[in-house]
Amino acid sequence: MVDRNKKRVITLEEYIIQAQNKFPGATGDLSQLLRDIGLAAKIISREVNKAGITNILGEDGSKNIHGESVKKLDLFADEQMISALNRAEITCMVISEENDGIVELDNAGGKYIVYLDPLDGSSNIDVNVSIGSIFSIYMREKPGSNQLSADEALQPGLKQVAAGYVLYGSSTLLTYTTGMGVSVFTLDPSIGEFILSEDDVKIPDKGTIYSVNEGSYHSWDKGLKQYIKYCQVEDKETSRPYKARYIGSMVADVHRTLKTGGIFIYPNSSQYPNGKLRLMYECNPLSLIIEQAGGLAIDGKGRILEIEPEAIHQRTPIFIGSQENVLKVKEFLDKYS
Ligand code: AHM
Ligand code: MG
């Protein structure tokens, strides 16, 4: 007998089509774009899982545009994402961490601009620790024009039409938002499909985990040093001391923060005066996800999503997570600024 109470499995493809059907005038282009990213994510996930055996771990010898050594998997992920986006001819350009300038796709008149960090947390590749891909999608402001420039891609995070990440962890997850809540899909490798595992995810208002590279403590501003001390002080009423967790892959650290609450920080410091992480393809997309889940993301002063970008690869400090934790760190930053 069929158990009618059993939850029906919904694939990423079905979910995207159902969402599109709620908007009768929708062209389906954004849905196509998200499906293409889903396909690239499956291919990258397969390669990440077998990387040790096929010998594509390790550096390929070249340096990326920021002078950091490039791992072979980074290049593979970059190629897969870009070629998936090129297929449907609705994206005109891609800006990726692995490429200095804009990457013009075949359809220069396409209406979407996509930012990518194809494989984030690359220092974790060789040691079999979670890594991720991040994407951020904008509409062109001058659709149809075949003249492409980086200036057109400089839009604040609030204008993202969709954003998400893929986490290659103990299982592969794809999390995305189109500005109407956050949905999480888990890859079932036996059928090769992303399956809806959580819809309308909400981050707890407050959490008891802080996540920051404490090895850089000496180079932080006083406000942050004081906040971390606050996290470590014993106080039963506020469940302190908090736990420290730091993976060193932003996608994994932010995903944990989304699920358990708390805060992830990559601050400005004497070593990185503007922070280390990239505004357009690391901080904006993850900030949209966290805000859509009810959390907050700031650069120490204001909302990350409101920053008017000046350069496609610009960096920003970031304090992201549960409302209460982010407001608390801001109190400390303001007090000592
Ligand atoms: P990457 O894009 O070169 O991998 O660098 C970004 C990563 C983030 O995933 C992570 O949060 C951060 O760098 C870790 O940096 P650090 O080793 O300085 O703590
Ligand atoms: Mg990165």
Q: How far is ligand 2, taken at its centre, from the CA of residue 232, in Å? A: 29
Determine the pLDDT at residue 69: 56
Q: How far is ligand 2, taken at its centre, from the CA of residue 123, in Å? A: 10
Q: How far is ligand 2, taken at its centre, from the CA of residue 315, in Å? A: 11
User: Which residue, by CA, sits nearest to atom 16 of ligand 1?
Assistant: 248
Pairwise CA distance, residues 85 & 106, whole Å? 10
Q: Which residues pair with 173 in a beta bridge?
A: 167, 186
Pairwise CA distance, residues 210 & 261, whole Å? 9
Ligand nearest, relative to CA of residue 134: 2
Determine the pLDDT at residue 112: 95
| Angle at alpha carbon of residue 142, lines to 140 and 146, rounded to 5° | 95
Pairwise CA distance, residues 287 & 7, whole Å? 31
Ligand nearest, relative to CA of residue 121: 1
Q: Is 68 in the pocket of ligand 1 (CB under 6 A)?
A: yes
Q: Is 213 in the pocket of ligand 1 (CB under 6 A)?
A: yes
Q: Give the CB-side neighbour count of residue 28, counting CA atoms within 13 A.
A: 6
Where in 217-309 does DSSP place strands (E)?
243-244, 263-266, 296-298
CB-CB contact of 224 with 299 (8 Å): no
Q: Which residues are annotated as a binding site for substrate?
A: 120-123, 213, 246, 276
Q: Which residues pair with 138 in a beta bridge?
A: 113
Q: What letter would DSSP give residue 125?
A: G
Q: What letter would DSSP give residue 252?
A: H
DSSP per residue, 34-101? HHHHHHHHHHHHHHHHTHHHHT--SEEEEE-TTSPEEEHHHHHHHHHHHHHHHHTT-EEEEEETT-SS
Q: How far is ligand 2, taken at its centre, from the CA of residue 282, in Å? A: 6
Q: Is 249 in the pocket of ligand 1 (CB under 6 A)?
A: yes
Q: Is 316 in the pocket of ligand 1 (CB under 6 A)?
A: no
Mutate to test the pocket of ligand 1, among 134, 165, 276 (most ligand atoms within 8 A of CB): 276
Pairwise CA distance, residues 221 & 333, whole Å? 8
Determine the pLDDT at residue 57: 55
Those residues whose beta carbon sits under 5 angstroms from the ion ligand 2 are 117, 120
Mutate to test the pocket of ligand 1, among 266, 278, 287 (most ligand atoms within 8 A of CB): 266
Mutate to test the pocket of ligand 1, among 59, 120, 213 (most ligand atoms within 8 A of CB): 120
CB-CB contact of 329 with 265 (8 Å): yes
Q: pTM for this structure? A: 0.94
Give me the count of residues in the chain. Answer: 337
Q: How far is ligand 2, taken at its centre, from the CA of residue 277, in Å? A: 7
Q: Residue for token digits 């802080």?
A: 210
Cα separations (Å) of 90 from 2, 114, 159, 174? Answer: 42, 10, 18, 21
Q: Residue for token digits 């001819």?
A: 89
Atom of ligand 1 nearest to the CA of 122: 4
Residue 335 in tokens: 């007090």
Backbone angles phi, psi at 46, to 5 degrees: -60, -45
Which parts of the chain sit beneath pLDDT 50?
A: none
Residues 6+ apart with CB under 8 A from 49: 168, 189
| Angle at alpha carbon of residue 238, lines to 234 and 244, rounded to 5° | 60
Atom of ligand 1 nearest to the CA of 249: 9
